[in-house]
């Protein structure tokens, strides 16, 4: 657990884009970075439209995100991330998908 005695480093994204057509830029960016195995964490609705992300390579979709996800849902996401050996984790959808994606990006492959 962090305390006031322990430094915390926050690395912000260099660029954030919003607007029509910006989701499709993700595929080009991921390709330029060399990511070939991607896990997309999403709700069922957005999982049906991941083609807008224009991702290439081996894409695995975890579409079992529940509203207000609990630790059981997180454990399923981590199992999917570990099974796919994902190089890139994408949260696609609302807050629950984003929260699980952030946790998966930090905890996948960890014993914590």
The list of the chain residues with pLDDT below 70 reads 1-4, 8, 10
d(CA 89, CA 87): 7
pLDDT at 42 (0 to 100): 96
Per the structure, the complete domain to which residue 41 belongs is given by 25-107
**Is residue 91 within 8 Å of residue 100, measured between CB atoms?**
yes
d(CA 73, CA 59): 20
For the chain, how many structural domains are there in total? 1
CATH number at residue 45: 3.40.50.1970
* 11 inside domain: no
What pTM does this model have?
0.84
pLDDT at 4 (0 to 100): 65
CB burial class (10 A; 0-12, 13-18, 19+) of residue 76?
middle
d(CA 30, CA 88): 8
* 90 inside domain: yes
């Amino acid at each position: 657990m962090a305390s006031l005695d322990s430094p915390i480093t926050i690395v912000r994204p260099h660029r954030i884009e919003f607007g029509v057509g910006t989701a499709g830029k993700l595929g080009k960016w991921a390709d330029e970075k060399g990511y070939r195995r991607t896990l997309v964490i999403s709700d069922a609705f957005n999982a049906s439209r991941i083609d807008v992300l224009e991702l290439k390579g081996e894409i695995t979709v975890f579409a079992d995100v529940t509203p207000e996800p609990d630790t059981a849902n997180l454990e399923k996401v981590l199992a999917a991330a570990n099974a796919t050996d994902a190089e890139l984790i994408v949260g696609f959808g609302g807050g629950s998908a984003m929260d699980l994606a952030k946790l998966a990006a930090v905890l996948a492959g960890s014993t914590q």
